[in-house]
Amino acid sequence: MEVHVLPDAASACRRAAELIAAAAVQTVEARGRFLLALSGGTTGAALVQELADAPLPWHAIHLLQVDERVAPVGDAERNLEPIRRALLATGRIAPERVHGMAVESDDLDAAAARYAATLRALAGSPPVLDLVHLGLGTDGHTASLVPGDPLLDVHDGDVAPTGTYNARRRLTLTLPVLNRARRVLWLVTGGDKAEVLARLQRGNRALPASRVRQDRAVVVADRAAAAHLDARVADPDQ
């Protein structure tokens, strides 16, 4: 696991955007396109804004969602909203290159199956994404894979509906597709994440996040979140 430690949350988001932009340019040069899956949350929204200002080859990027809350179109809790505001409304990326999860559907199982089909159409069978951005919850969850959820034991599907978590059901990518990704980028900020990030670094299997393979992972954290990391592994950036 490669670790970058930045002074604060804003600089961590900028570094994450720089790493994604560099990966996008390299991948487009090598394969002609870049398949990027983004998570939501407050830090995810800040990352999207940084990506809007970064030199990405948007014409060759397909943007997917890691997870999405079941909520109406335009709801402020939708992870798609920052993407809509910062990237779609500004013309950074064409609408046909943004693949949102259809969580407004009455049949979430069917919506999950359709999204899995989209993944296969874009990324092959089984789908392999170029880069997946993940966040980290204080309870160790990532994507919408939370402690105790049966989805942690799914081995034969790439997209699934969840149970209720923080008053919302969700659609989420599952561990098989996350673990096939060519690269995973964790963006973690805030002192409330320090202990759980250290547990992730140690590979604590009690955390859902630790089920994501570490050999292809990059962690970008601010100093507050990195406070308990192993200093022999962490590589502070000034």
Q: Please name every residue paired with 98 in a beta bridge, in sequence order, or none if there are none.
A: 63
Q: How do the pLDDT tens digits run along the chain, 238 residues long? A: 899 999 999 999 999 999 999 999 999 999 999 999 999 989 999 999 999 999 999 999 999 999 999 999 888 999 999 999 999 999 999 999 999 999 998 899 999 999 999 999 999 999 999 999 999 999 999 999 999 889 999 888 999 999 888 888 999 999 999 999 999 999 999 999 999 999 999 988 889 999 999 999 999 999 999 999 976 454 545 4
Helix (H/G/I), strand (E/B), else coil: 199: helix
Fold for 2-236, please state it.
Rossmann fold (3.40.50)
CA distance 80 to 5: 27
Q: Can you spell out the DSSP letters for 104-143?
A: TSS-HHHHHHHHHHHHHHHHTTTT--SEEEE---TTS-BT
> What are the boundaries of each domain within the chain?
2-236
Residues 158, 78, 105, 73, Cα dihedral to 10°: -150
Give the DSSP letter string of 1-27.
-EEEEESSHHHHHHHHHHHHHHHHHHH
Helix H or strand E encompassing 31: helix 9-31
d(CA 231, CA 13): 21
